[in-house]
DNA sequence: ATGAAAGCGCTAACAC
DNA sequence: GTGTTAGCGCTTTCAT
């Protein structure tokens, strides 16, 4: 008869009482069931059922320091690409019995002061993109961390990512292969390192083909529809508009397609577009998007595996795992007409 | 002599030592700064700086039972609509100093046994959609909860949502207003209550106009591109295909648009489409989508406010807050041609 | 205003 | 195998 149900914590002591054993035994029955007599274990199990006991985590963590929580710091939980990565993280984490605490960048408003204690409570951290809110250098002791999707040489974090430079190079190279000469590039924000790498890939591809780099063909902005949309307007009002555009994200690419249609430019006949990421949506837009596919789910998956290894005390084997990217050719690209 | 300083926790005791006071004073300096002498506080503050002390949450929570963590259980962190809601949640939570623990449905694989303890550690729960992994009825004492985006009468949870029935009714009614008679409906999965309400809205609108309900016009599936895509094929192969389709989500609608184009059906000339949610993407697809807009961000915002009130011990004022929805007419709908 | 000391619920030595 | 006991880091009486 539990009358003390005013949200009163059922403690291990209660269980012990009901089972007629000591708290230590209850604890053992929970933690190392094989080290406790079969009979006793049954009594304890019953008592747990009866009382509705639930282990109180803070106390438990107190000792063994395991919260089974992984922190993910993500730039933007709204970005469909990152969302897929996070999905990979969550699913993999769940397989290993970990929960995922997701911190969006909006929450960077949370002051360091209140953030720090939290870091103390999680078992590991996954940085999804580099503009993390935490001033890593000012923390002496942080939980194990891995970085995903963006490589940041200065912090020597184990990282899982694609070769953004080569990927971008290949994307642009493809456009060149099918005959394009005037190729523009819409980059992500400068503070993201991946923007830098992708831009470099673009630049190298252009230069290698012996064509002069056109400053006016190189725009940048956030990885959003709007950026793509406005960038297109800008590009097409150039005296010599490009015949193809390489975008740093699919979302951007969709923005440019949208705007292109609006001002009556036919894709891919008059303008070729290639995106980046291969989000699910890419194949459903009109025309279906040619894009550099990233292994979205796998990035998340690998990141967790890597982090879990760190948690086990494994040394940081390789400092950076490279995943493959692949150009998916759909219908937003074609030979230049003119 | 603790030489075991391999990432050793800096404890409050250390701070106390350095400051030359007792741990109790340090604790007070942190928790009720005004109750401690100005001088002492300075000494403590300095010591904290020097040692790099960070409060250890599990111990702190131990007593005052405040983790400052809100748990969000979401159906699908990949859904752009839910993602926007979550954004609203995170941002609002952050304003009030709360962090958000996000549990995707994939993580339902985590057994109750390991989930329950976690529930014990969070200050409150937001259910985003009803198919939550937790067997609410089997838990005696759960943290305060609110439900968002879906109304579930049986559990009497404070809920924040739109009137799905009326919204659907209005959407279908609009189609009727502009002249459509053969209107199909692609519903969400049956286990979501909102599918039920939206379907009812559709049914009532059809019936009120005196038209017979056509079973063959009523399809259902997951809220995905694929569902929309396959549903369209099915609908258009009917002897009397519909002239308009009401979809339970924008994603679905985009799927049907995609497929419609593929088989050469002109939108909106030959077929009108209306979606639901008004995700950002809706205005960027071709043609821009007419859709029933939900206040995505605000749903999350309100949910947090509501939950926070509960946490303060406020009684559940109204059991259900209704937010407004609004039909956004874009270019995927037009008068029927024939 | 501050220190000493008693817990909080749990785990881990250490005995029996 | 199981109970006793001593903490874990922190907050909070209760003295002073």
B112-159 residue pLDDT tens = 667 778 887 889 999 998 665 555 555 556 788 999 998 877 778 899
Q: How many whole angstroms separate alpha carbon B79 and alpha carbon A5?
A: 38
Four-CA torsion A196, B91, A90, B148, nearest 10 degrees? -140
| B17 Cα to chain A: minimum distance (Å) | 20
Domain boundary among A293, A311, A332: A293
The predicted model gives B13-30 an average pLDDT of: 94
- Burial of residue A142 (CB within 10 Å: 0-12, 13-18, 19+) is middle
Distance, CA of B37 to chain centre: 46
Residue B246: per-residue pLDDT: 98
The predicted model gives B65-83 an average pLDDT of: 89
Whether B324 maps to a domain, the answer reads no
Higher per-residue pLDDT: A189 or A337: A189
pLDDT in tens, B176-198: 999 999 999 999 999 899 999 99
Look at residue A75 and tell me whether its pLDDT is greater than 90: no
Judging contacts by C-beta atoms under 8 Å, the chain B residues touching residue A281 are: 225, 254, 281
B191-230 residues touching A, CB cutoff 8 A: 225, 229
- Burial of residue B154 (CB within 10 Å: 0-12, 13-18, 19+) is exposed
Q: Is the pTM here over 0.85, yes or no?
A: yes
Residue A2: per-residue pLDDT: 33
The predicted model gives A90-114 an average pLDDT of: 77
Judging contacts by C-beta atoms under 8 Å, the chain A residues touching residue B62 are: 58-59, 62
Higher per-residue pLDDT: A280 or A100: A280
State the residue range of the domain holding B27: 12-51
Whether B192 maps to a domain, the answer reads yes
- Burial of residue A113 (CB within 10 Å: 0-12, 13-18, 19+) is exposed
Question: Tokens at residue B283, please?
Answer: 């205005």
The predicted model gives A241-269 an average pLDDT of: 98
Query: Does B262 lie at the interface with A, CB-CB under 8 angstroms?
Result: no
Q: How many whole angstroms separate alpha carbon B70 and alpha carbon B308?
A: 10
Q: How many whole angstroms separate alpha carbon B137 and alpha carbon A25?
A: 29
Look at residue A6 and tell me whether its pLDDT is greater than 60: no
Taking a C-beta distance cutoff of 8 angstroms, is the pair A244, A336 a contact?
yes
Look at residue B65 and tell me whether its pLDDT is greater than 80: no
pLDDT in tens, A205-223: 999 999 999 999 999 999 9
Look at residue B45 and tell me whether its pLDDT is greater than 80: yes
The CA angle B137-B142-B145, to the nearest 5 degrees, is 95
Eight-class DSSP state of A71: E
Report the relative pairing of strands A290-293 and A326-328 from DSSP bridges: antiparallel
Cα distances from B95 to residues A110, A111, A188, B90, in angstroms, run 8, 10, 28, 9
A304 pLDDT band (50/70/90 cuts)? very high
The predicted model gives A41-59 an average pLDDT of: 91
Q: Out of A94-103, A296-305, B56-65, which region has the weakest mean confidence (pLDDT)?
A: B56-65
Whether A321 maps to a domain, the answer reads no
Whether A26 maps to a domain, the answer reads yes
Q: How many whole angstroms separate alpha carbon B87 and alpha carbon B93?
A: 10
Question: Tokens at residue A122, please?
Answer: 């999680």
The predicted model gives A148-164 an average pLDDT of: 87
Residue A244: per-residue pLDDT: 98
Q: Out of A216-225, A306-315, B26-35, B171-180, which region has the weakest mean confidence (pLDDT)?
A: A306-315
A312 pLDDT band (50/70/90 cuts)? confident
Look at residue A49 and tell me whether its pLDDT is greater than 50: yes
Question: Tokens at residue B158, please?
Answer: 């404070």
The predicted model gives A52-76 an average pLDDT of: 85
> Which of A1, A89, A104, A128 is the best substitution to test chain B (most B C-beta atoms within 10 A)?
A104
B305 pLDDT band (50/70/90 cuts)? very high
The predicted model gives B313-318 an average pLDDT of: 73
* Facing residue for A117 by CB, picked from B57, B114, B225: B57
Q: How many whole angstroms separate alpha carbon B291 and alpha carbon B250?
A: 7
Whether B219 maps to a domain, the answer reads yes
Residue B4: per-residue pLDDT: 34
Residue A226: per-residue pLDDT: 97
Question: Tokens at residue B221, please?
Answer: 């599936």
Whether A68 maps to a domain, the answer reads no
**CA of B82 vs C1' of D13, distance in Å?**
47
Four-CA torsion A110, A114, A117, A123, nearest 10 degrees? -10
Residue B6: per-residue pLDDT: 43
Higher per-residue pLDDT: B76 or B296: B296
How many domains is chain B built from? 2
Helix (H, G, I), strand (E, B) or coil at B146: strand
How many CB pairs lie under 8 A apart between chains A and B? 166
Look at residue A29 and tell me whether its pLDDT is greater than 50: yes
Residue A101: per-residue pLDDT: 86
User: Percent of chain B scored above 90 by pLDDT?
Assistant: 69
Residue B338: per-residue pLDDT: 66
Sign of CA dihedral A4, A6, A12, A15: positive
Residue A63: per-residue pLDDT: 75
Residue B61: per-residue pLDDT: 81
- E-strand ranges in A24-82 read 69-74
Residue B7: per-residue pLDDT: 53
The per-residue DSSP string of A134-195 comes to S-GGG-SS---EEEESS--TTTT--EEEE-HHHHHHHHHHHHHHTT--SEEEEE--TTSHHH
Taking a C-beta distance cutoff of 8 angstroms, is the pair A192, A128 a contact?
no
* Facing residue for B141 by CB, picked from A7, A101, A109: A7
Strand D bases near protein CB (under 7 Å) are 1-5, 7-13
Cα distances from A268 to residues A208, A245, A337, in angstroms, run 25, 11, 9
Higher per-residue pLDDT: A115 or B208: B208
* Facing residue for B78 by CB, picked from A52, A84, A141: A84
Q: How many whole angstroms separate alpha carbon B174 and alpha carbon A185?
A: 42
- E-strand ranges in B104-142 read 124-128
Query: Does B110 lie at the interface with A, CB-CB under 8 angstroms?
Result: yes
Q: Which nucleotide is nearest to B64 (CA to C1')?
A: D11
Q: In which region does residue B237 sit, left (phi positive, over 0), alpha (psi from -120 to 50) or beta (all else)?
A: alpha
Footprint of strand D on the protein (CB under 7 A): A 20-25, 28, 35-37, 39-41, 59, 62-63; B 9, 11-13, 23-24, 26-28, 30-31, 53, 55-56, 59-60, 62-64
Whether B226 maps to a domain, the answer reads yes
B107 pLDDT band (50/70/90 cuts)? low
Judging contacts by C-beta atoms under 8 Å, the chain B residues touching residue A91 are: 104, 106-107
pLDDT in tens, B253-262: 999 999 999 9
Average pLDDT of the residues of chain A: 89
Cα distances from B90 to residues A128, B96, B118, B294, in angstroms, run 17, 10, 19, 18
Average pLDDT of the residues of chain B: 89
Question: Tokens at residue B316, please?
Answer: 């559940």
Higher per-residue pLDDT: B115 or A46: A46
Higher per-residue pLDDT: A257 or A7: A257
pLDDT in tens, A266-283: 999 999 999 999 999 999
Residue A295: per-residue pLDDT: 98
Higher per-residue pLDDT: B92 or A313: B92
Cα distances from A324 to residues A160, A198, A295, in angstroms, run 11, 15, 7
Q: Who contacts A93 (Cβ-Cβ below 8 Å, separation ≥6)?
A: A70, A99, A100, A304, B107
**CA of B276 vs C1' of D8, distance in Å?**
53
Candidates B19, B23, B13; CA nearest to B42 is B19
């Amino acid at each position: 008869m539990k009358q003390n149900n005013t949200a009163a914590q059922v403690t291990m002591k209660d269980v012990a009482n009901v089972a007629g054993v000591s708290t230590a035994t209850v604890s053992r029955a929970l933690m190392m069931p094989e080290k406790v007599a079969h009979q006793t274990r049954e009594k304890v199990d019953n008592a747990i059922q009866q009382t509705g006991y639930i282990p109180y985590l803070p106390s438990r963590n107190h000792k063994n320091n395991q919260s089974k929580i992984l922190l993910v710091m993500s730039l933007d939980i709204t970005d469909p690409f990152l969302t897929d990565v996070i999905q990979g993280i969550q699913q993999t984490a769940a397989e290993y019995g970990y929960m995922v605490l997701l911190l969006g960048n909006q929450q960077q408003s949370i002051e360091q002061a209140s953030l720090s204690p939290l870091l103390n409570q999680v078992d590991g951290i996954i940085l999804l993109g580099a503009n993390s809110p935490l001033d890593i250098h000012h923390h002496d002791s942080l939980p194990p961390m891995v970085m995903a999707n963006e490589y940041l040489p200065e912090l020597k974090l184990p990282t899982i990512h694609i070769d953004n430079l080569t990927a971008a190079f290949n994307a642009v190279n493809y456009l060149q292969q099918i005959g394009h000469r005037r190729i523009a590039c819409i980059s992500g924000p400068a503070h993201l390192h991946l923007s830098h790498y992708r831009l470099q890939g673009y630049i190298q591809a252009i230069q290698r083909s012996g064509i002069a780099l056109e400053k006016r063909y190189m725009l940048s902005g956030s990885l959003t529809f709007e950026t793509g949309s406005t960038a297109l307007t800008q590009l097409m009002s150039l005296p010599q508009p490009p015949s193809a555009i390489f975008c740093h994200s699919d979302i951007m690419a969709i923005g440019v397609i949208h705007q292109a249609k609006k001002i009556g430019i036919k894709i891919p006949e008059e303008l070729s577009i290639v995106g980046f990421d291969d989000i699910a949506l890419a194949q459903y837009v009109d025309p279906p998007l040619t894009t550099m596919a990233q292994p979205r789910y796998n990035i998340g998956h690998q990141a967790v595996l890597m982090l879990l290894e760190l948690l086990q005390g494994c040394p940081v084997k390789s400092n950076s795992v490279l995943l493959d990217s692949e150009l998916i050719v759909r219908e937003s690209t074609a030979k230049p007409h003119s």
